[in-house]
Amino acid sequence: MNIPAITTILKSSAEATDIKTITFRYPGAVLPGQFFMIWIPGIDEIPMSVSLITETINAITFRKIGDATDALYGLGKGDKIGVRGPYGNGFTIRGKRLLFVGGGTGIAMLAPAVEQAAKKKLKSTVIIGAKTKNELFFEDRLRRIGATVLVSTDDGSAGYKGYASDLAKEILKKGSIDAVYTCGPEPMMKTLLSSCKTIPFQASLERYMKCALGICGQCCVGAGLRICVDGPIFDGATLKKIEDFGVFQRDAAGRKILF
Ligand SMILES: Cc1cc2nc3c(=O)[nH]c(=O)nc-3n(C[C@H](O)[C@H](O)[C@H](O)COP(=O)(O)OP(=O)(O)OC[C@H]3O[C@@H](n4cnc5c(N)ncnc54)[C@H](O)[C@@H]3O)c2cc1C
């Protein structure tokens, strides 16, 4: 599990502007919310959440933003990558009426959790938020399994005009949600947490990661937590103790970068 297994890319498909899904075979069970370390030989090894879970096939969905994701974006069917994992804790699905809020590529890692909820016959409302309509994806996939899918865009080019967290606040006011699950920009997740009050809340955090095994300390956040082994999913009570949450992350050299 801790040594990359070389696997062949089965499919590489465009989801939206600069966003692709890569499908591959990897043995063993994976939980929604867990992540793999993806090795692109000669370039880098980076954390990527699982975005599709079937008995035989997994996928990752990513936005190209730097060296590793650019290289990954250029790979196609038949190319090889290294995969190790899965790592991290995954979501714990509780409650009957669930709200999922995905900002940007955050919806990629929430999708398997929505699919798990659908298998358990739970009622899911999903908010997919993006800057603009060209960056939206997974709407059809989640509608097909019976989720109520709402869209928000910062520029109003599709759906609700504004942040996903603002649309979520309106839904939460109606009092018909038992639990909230989110992944996206931290300031958005922090705002969402403040709207949840007593509603159980789980959020997935991202930090610069090296070993993913809890050894190197690169992904430590306040309260002595390592994102790779203690997370990446944290509940609302824990997030309130993490002073970094929604405020800053650290680069590869450990320097603080404000959100
Ligand atoms: C547990 C975990 C799961 C992740 N899952 C996904 C996923 O499913 N899909 C996806 O697209 N990305 C995901 N990421 C983020 C992804 O790992 C980074 O975007 C990637 O490492 C960038 O590598 P790069 O070499 O392409 O970019 P770099 O050249 O390293 O960075 C380019 C830019 O992206 C920023 N950046 C780098 N790492 C991160 C990060 N972790 N979070 C936010 N910004 C970052 C840098 O500050 C820089 O501005 C995940 C990260 C973690 C920790």
How do residues 130-152 score in pLDDT, each as one tens digit?
A: 999 999 999 999 999 999 999 99
- Expressed in angstroms and rounded, the spacing between residue 50 Cα and the centre of ligand 1 is 14
pLDDT category, 1, cuts 50, 70, 90? confident
Per the listing, tokens 């007593």 go with 198
pLDDT averaged over every residue in the chain? 97
- Please answer whether residues 87 and 229 qualify as being in contact, where contact means their C-beta atoms are separated by less than 8 angstroms: yes
Structure tokens at 119: 């298998």
- Expressed in angstroms and rounded, the spacing between residue 43 Cα and the centre of ligand 1 is 14
Q: Is 118 exposed, middle or buried (0-12, 13-18, 19+ CB in 10 A)?
A: middle
- Expressed in angstroms and rounded, the spacing between residue 179 Cα and the centre of ligand 1 is 27
What average pLDDT does range 174-202 have in this prediction? 96
pLDDT at position 5, please? 96
Q: Ligand 1: does its nearest atom lie under 6 Å from the Cβ of 46? A: yes
Give the whole-number percent of the chain exceeding pLDDT 90: 96
pLDDT category, 259, cuts 50, 70, 90? very high
In this prediction the pTM is 0.96
- Expressed in angstroms and rounded, the spacing between residue 20 Cα and the centre of ligand 1 is 14
Going along the chain from its start, the domains and CATH numbers come out as: 5-87 (2.40.30.10), 91-204 (3.40.50.80), 206-233+242-259 (2.10.240)
- Please answer whether residues 213 and 226 qualify as being in contact, where contact means their C-beta atoms are separated by less than 8 angstroms: no
Query: To test the ligand 1 pocket, which listed residue (19, 43, 46, 211) has its Cβ within 8 A of the most ligand atoms?
Result: 46
The CA angle 187-188-191, to the nearest 5 degrees, is: 85
pLDDT category, 185, cuts 50, 70, 90? very high
